[in-house]
Amino acid sequence: MLDSNHLFDITIIGGGPVGMFAAYYAGMRKADVQIIESLPELGGQVATLYPEKQIYDVAGFSGISGAQLTENLIEQLALFQPTLQLSTAVQGIEPQEDGTFVLKTTKGTTRTKGIVIAVGNGAFTPRKLAVDYDPEWENHYIHYFAKEMAQFKDQTVAVAGGGDSAIEWALMLEKVAKQVYLIHRRDQFRGLESSVEALKQSTVQIKTPFLIDSLTEMNQQLALTLNKMKSTDQEQLTIDKLLVNYGFISDTRILRDWGLTLDHHQVAVNQQLETNIPNIYAIGDIATYPGKVKLIASGFGEAPMAVTELLTNLYPEKRQPLHSTSIM
Locate all alpha helices (DSSP H) within the chain, ordered by sequence.
Answer: 17-28, 44-49, 66-77, 164-174, 193-200, 253-257, 296-314
Q: Which residues contact 147 (CB under 8 A, 6 or more apart)?
A: 49, 50, 51, 52
Cα atoms found within 13 Å of the Cα of residue 233, Cβ hemisphere only:
9
- In angstroms, the CA 278 to CA 146 distance is 40
Q: Is 75 exposed, middle or buried (0-12, 13-18, 19+ CB in 10 A)?
A: exposed
Dihedral Cα 243, 247, 251, 255, nearest 10 deg: 140
- Is 325 known to sit in a ligand binding site? yes
Give whole-number Cα distances, 217 to 140, 182, 212, in Å. Answer: 11, 20, 14
Q: Is 181 exposed, middle or buried (0-12, 13-18, 19+ CB in 10 A)?
A: buried
- Is 37 known to sit in a ligand binding site? yes
Q: Is the dihedral of CA 271, 274, 279, 281 positive or negative?
A: negative
- Is 285 known to sit in a ligand binding site? yes
Q: Which residues contact 75 (CB under 8 A, 6 or more apart)?
A: none
Q: Known binding site for FAD: residues?
A: 37, 45, 50, 90, 124, 285, 325
Q: Known binding site: residues?
A: 37, 45, 50, 90, 124, 285, 325
